[in-house]
Amino acid sequence: MILPILLYKNKILRNKNKNIKIKSNLNNIINNMFDTMYYYKGIGLSAPQIGKNINLFIISINNKKLIFINSKIKSYSKKKIISNEGCLSIPNIYVNIKRKKLINVEYYDNKWKKHKKIFNNYLSIIFQHEYDHIRGKLIIDYLKKN
């Protein structure tokens, strides 16, 4: 099911988001998030963008669906890269953002298997963008820093 995406003025997007109770059934919401993301031609979508203040986001890259539950960045490189980013919650606006080139992350997938991975470059950028949503941060917040 395609869900409405909240736009940047909605206060839900600014909330801190709660971790999800382990073993919760998230299949329906995850499927709806992928339907919504593909409909709006996105590459990532966070639960806050559909009105759910939980630590959940999805990414689609190279025809692969990635699901991130209760994610956290454990460490990151000092080296940064600049990315030009858009956001489904802020249509038609693009911002150059300095992101960490490499990040070390932990998360659960939709089967509640815990993962520890290192992402770099493009996947690192997308992960950090969606992770910002979980922390109540939007791309426009970077306009003050760049």
- The tens digit of pLDDT for each residue in 80-135 reads 999 999 999 999 999 999 999 999 999 999 999 999 999 999 999 999 999 999 99
Element holding 21 (H helix, E strand) = none
Number of domains in the chain: 1
Task: Confirm whether 4 is domain-assigned.
Answer: no
Rg over alpha carbons for the chain, rounded to the nearest Å, is 14
Give the active site residue among 20, 107, 126, 130.
130
pLDDT of residue 143: 87
Task: Confirm whether 32 is domain-assigned.
Answer: yes
Tell me if 38 sits within 8 A of 60, measured CB to CB: yes
Structure tokens at 144: 């003050």
Task: Confirm whether 15 is domain-assigned.
Answer: yes
- The tens digit of pLDDT for each residue in 6-23 reads 999 999 999 989 999 999
Cβ neighbourhood burial of 142 (10 Å; 0-12, 13-18, 19+): middle
* Rounded CA separation 74/58 (Å): 19
| Catalytic site includes residue 85 | no
**Which residue range forms the structural domain that includes residue 79?**
11-144
In residues, how long is the chain?
146
Task: Identify the CATH number of the domain in which residue 83 sits.
Answer: 3.90.45.10
Task: Confirm whether 125 is domain-assigned.
Answer: yes
